[in-house]
Amino acid sequence: MRHPIIMSSYMNELPDTSVPAGMTYQPDMERLSNPYGLWSILTEIRFFVSFAAFFPDTPQPLPMGGYFSAKFTMGSFGITNQFVPLPMFCTQMEEQDENVYGFPAALLFGAQAGTGSYSMLRWKLPEPLLVPPLTPLHCTLRRDLADPDPAVSAEWPKVKIAYLGEQLTPDFQPPKMAKVPYVSYQASTSPIGAGLSLQSPFLVPLHVQRLVGTTSNTSLMRIRDTKGFDVVKDFTPQGAIFDIPRRAWTFNRVLQPNEAFTIYSQPAGSQVCLIGWREEQYS
Amino acid sequence: MSRIIQPGGGGLVLPSPGMPAPGTGSEPVLLTASGVIQSSSGATLNTQALTNPLKVPIEIQEIRWQVSDPSEDNTVNGLSVACQLTYGPLALTNGYIPVWNFGRMYNQYEDFADYHEYRWRLQSPLFVAPGGLVEPKFQHLGLVKEALNVRISYLGRTVPKHRPKSIQVPYVAAYLSDSINVRAADATTESKETDLQNALDATIQVDRYVGRLNLYSLDEEEGTVTNTDHSALVFDVAQFLTLEMSDSDGYKNIMPDTLFWEAFNPQFRCWDVQHSLQAGGFYLVKLAYDGALISSLAEDVFGPSSIRASISMVGHREVKTS
């Protein structure tokens, strides 16, 4: 019999001084591993980002998810190609951003002045991930954005991560092959000529679930695959490719080994994420 | 009787038993009833309006509740009223369930100008024979002293006359926590074995857990009450609320120090699972809250406020009809 499980990290405690962008943080992997030493199936990953600060005149820095990116590996299996900004894992509908009073800023600056922001993001994996007992899904988090003015910040962004899924019975025998999610993220400030390449790095087919992007209508984008097929033929506003309510384009496409989507943007600067899965050998 | 149809694209499709073939006249059906419930009292509605009036069976696919305060003095929500459902001798609930604990939240469109609506899309449609009744009973949970209006609606479709060998019947159980003062430091509260319990004599398939959090605030000057589950204040308070959960097989299901929002994400307020819970099986939930930071704040930020969590398990089981 399977038993549901949620494993969550502690909230990280970054130092209360200016933290440079690029600093990495390692969640406590013991808390993100099955406590009984059982095989697990992960179906969702949830991120909780919190920031309490005092911003008297400036807009709130939403969404907070943009303050962090995450990299996942599981043993020798790559789950992400590099650090991926948290909002790029999920559609807009899986993200919630809130402005609130914020603690302890409220105590330092007065209840009405202290404000905070939370972003809660949910990545429902394209396929459940089978996790061996001694090889947990390893996560590294990275600060991406620089701090706001330290003079008005009471607390630095914090992040908490949770794995949701099921734990399998002690007598579970893993299959020979199982599906493993994959996320490929690319960002560039390159001009049109140098396109971004969302490539399948595997020797097996990569099943694409969706592309996640941004919804700016001032930035144009076209997409071509390595066979020369124009997926998006003309330069098109990103908001038309990644529709505004969802920030994503979900479709069904299989990339063969070394196939890729090439993204051209105009003006320069774009970020795109490919989410999919492939099969890997477990035993 | 199933028949072979030939769609335009060619090939033969044999409809599964109970599925109406295209063109056989499956019609949408909505049954509804409403009433008034006095504070802290129970009520039944017009059951005749909810009885299947047709000569053919229907399948209920969705149940909706609307709650409103006719005095318009207070803000109410899905924790203000609880509902118990039975279909003949079959229990659909383990006692009374807050009406927002049946279904997932759909894009937060629950609160309208003068009423609040909660939807429950059933995992499997519920077969109701001609003349059959899914009977609701309501309980006003006493969060406000005024009487409340409540409406329940069954949405579904007609199906061809047949007698299935078995039907899928939903089952919901809930735990309503003690109220916790938002200024309390180190408060804990936990469920009993009989709260989130499979009280049936058959195994149920649990499809999801739903977690809701209510912030109750009393305006002492006006004497009015606000109940909300998605204001900025709720999100602020909720960061100090963690939970853990274990099941009757001894497994931890939610590890300690998991935030309430991590288990029941704000977009949907639920966690979808697949868990077989045997007869008599149960979950135990422990909530821990530390409002020490809030207690340092000026009184006028929160006023006299308390939070209360309601957590449910929503599932179904197969029932033989012969």
Q: Does A10 touch chain B (CB under 8 A)?
A: yes
Range scoring the smallest mean pLDDT among A15-19, A76-80, B10-14, B26-30:
B10-14
Facing residue for B267 by CB, picked from A36, A93, A99: A93
Contact list in A for residue B300 (CB cut-off 8 A) is 111
Is A192's pLDDT higher than 70? no
**Confidence label for B124 from pLDDT (cuts 50, 70 and 90):** very high
**Confidence label for A50 from pLDDT (cuts 50, 70 and 90):** confident
Q: Which pLDDT value is given to residue B228?
A: 82
Over the Cα atoms of chain A, what is R_g? Answer: 20
Contact list in B for residue A39 (CB cut-off 8 A) is none
Q: Which pLDDT value is given to residue A156?
A: 65
Contact list in A for residue B263 (CB cut-off 8 A) is 6, 162
Size of interface A-B (CB pairs under 8 A): 100
Is A21's pLDDT higher than 50? yes
Range scoring the smallest mean pLDDT among A20-34, A250-264, B198-212, B304-318:
A20-34
Closest by CA position to A160, among listed A128, A119, A114: A119
Q: Which single residue is written with the structure tokens 């926590």? A: B177
Q: Which pLDDT value is given to residue A150?
A: 52
Contact list in A for residue B252 (CB cut-off 8 A) is 5, 35
Q: Which pLDDT value is given to residue B24?
A: 58
- Nearest residue on chain B to A9, alpha-carbon basis: B258
Write down the mean pLDDT value for chain B. 87
Q: Does B107 touch chain A (CB under 8 A)?
A: yes
Mean pLDDT of B233-240: 82
Mean pLDDT of B218-234: 80
Q: Does B290 touch chain A (CB under 8 A)?
A: no
243-272 in chain B: CB under 8 A from chain A: 247, 249, 251-255, 257-259, 261-263, 265-267, 271-272
Mean pLDDT of A64-77: 88
pLDDT tens readout for residues A237-250: 888 898 877 889 99
pLDDT tens readout for residues B30-65: 999 999 999 999 999 999 999 999 999 999 999 999
pLDDT tens readout for residues A78-103: 999 999 999 899 887 777 776 666 66
pLDDT tens readout for residues A193-250: 566 788 889 999 999 999 998 877 778 889 999 889 999 999 998 888 988 778 899 9
CB atoms within 10 A of CB A223: 22
**Nearby residues of B89 by Cβ (< 8 Å), 6 or more positions away:** none
Q: Which single residue is written with the structure tokens 């002690």? A: A170
Q: Which pLDDT value is given to residue B300?
A: 63
- Nearest residue on chain A to B249, alpha-carbon basis: A3
Facing residue for B253 by CB, picked from A6, A8, A120: A6
Write the CA distances from A223 to A101, A192, A232, A238, A264, integer angstroms: 43, 12, 5, 11, 6
Write the CA distances from B207 to A257, A281, B191, B271, B316, integer angstroms: 37, 30, 20, 9, 8
**Confidence label for B11 from pLDDT (cuts 50, 70 and 90):** very low
Which of B241, B249, B262 to mutate: most A Cβ within 10 Å?
B262
Q: Which of A21-30, A47-56, A164-173 has the highest mean pLDDT?
A: A164-173
Contact indicator for A12, A160 with CB cutoff of 8 Å? yes
Q: Which of A98-112, A178-192, B137-151 has the highest mean pLDDT?
A: B137-151
Q: Does A97 touch chain B (CB under 8 A)?
A: no
**Confidence label for B3 from pLDDT (cuts 50, 70 and 90):** very low
**ipTM, 2 dp:** 0.85
- Nearest residue on chain B to A47, alpha-carbon basis: B262
- Nearest residue on chain B to A97, alpha-carbon basis: B266
The C-alpha of B298 sits at a distance from chain A's nearest C-alpha, in angstroms, of: 7
Facing residue for B266 by CB, picked from A5, A43, A96: A96
- Nearest residue on chain A to B239, alpha-carbon basis: A50
User: Is B255–A10 a contact, with Cβ atoms under 8 angstroms apart?
Assistant: no
Q: Which pLDDT value is given to residue A52?
A: 66
Tell me the percentage of chain A whose pLDDT exceeds 70: 77
Which of B182, B196, B235, B301 to mutate: most A Cβ within 10 Å?
B235
Q: Which pLDDT value is given to residue B118?
A: 93
Q: Which pLDDT value is given to residue A229?
A: 93
CA atoms within 13 A on the CB side of B18: 15
Mean pLDDT of B266-292: 93
The C-alpha of A211 sits at a distance from chain B's nearest C-alpha, in angstroms, of: 21
**Confidence label for B221 from pLDDT (cuts 50, 70 and 90):** confident
Is A17's pLDDT higher than 50? no
pLDDT tens readout for residues B173-193: 999 999 999 888 889 999 999
Closest by CA position to A71, among listed A6, A126, A27: A27
Which is more confident, B224 or A178? A178
- Nearest residue on chain A to B236, alpha-carbon basis: A100
Q: Does A29 touch chain B (CB under 8 A)?
A: no
3-state secondary structure of B46: coil
Q: Which pLDDT value is given to residue A19?
A: 53
Closest by CA position to A221, among listed A184, A271, A280: A271
Q: Which pLDDT value is given to residue B8?
A: 33
Contact list in B for residue A48 (CB cut-off 8 A) is 259, 261-262
Q: Which pLDDT value is given to residue A112?
A: 55
The C-alpha of B267 sits at a distance from chain A's nearest C-alpha, in angstroms, of: 7
User: Is A6–B263 a contact, with Cβ atoms under 8 angstroms apart?
Assistant: yes
Range scoring the smallest mean pLDDT among A124-133, B163-172, B257-266:
B257-266
User: Is A103–B294 a contact, with Cβ atoms under 8 angstroms apart?
Assistant: yes
pLDDT tens readout for residues A100-144: 666 655 665 555 556 677 788 999 999 999 999 989 999 999 887
Tell me the percentage of chain B whose pLDDT exceeds 90: 66
Q: Report angle CA B182, A117, A237 to the nearest 5 degrees.
A: 145
Contact list in B for residue A101 (CB cut-off 8 A) is 232-233, 236, 301
pLDDT tens readout for residues B97-122: 999 999 998 756 677 767 889 999 99
Q: Which pLDDT value is given to residue A258?
A: 85
Three-state SS string over chain A comes to CCEEEEEECCCCCCCCCCCCCCCEECCCCCCCCCCCCCCEEEEEEEEEEEEEECCCCCCCCCCHHHHEEEEEEECCEECECCCEEHHHHCCHHHEEEEEECCCCHHHHHCCCCCEEEEEEEEEEEEEEEEECCCCCCEEEEEECCCCCCHHHCCCCCEEEEEEEEEECCCCCCCCCEEEEEEEEEEEECCCCCCCEEEECCCCCCEEEEEEECCCCCCCEEEEEECCCCEEEEEEEEHHHHCCCCCCEEEEEEEECCCCEEEEEEECCCEEEEEEEEEEEECC
Q: Does A101 touch chain B (CB under 8 A)?
A: yes
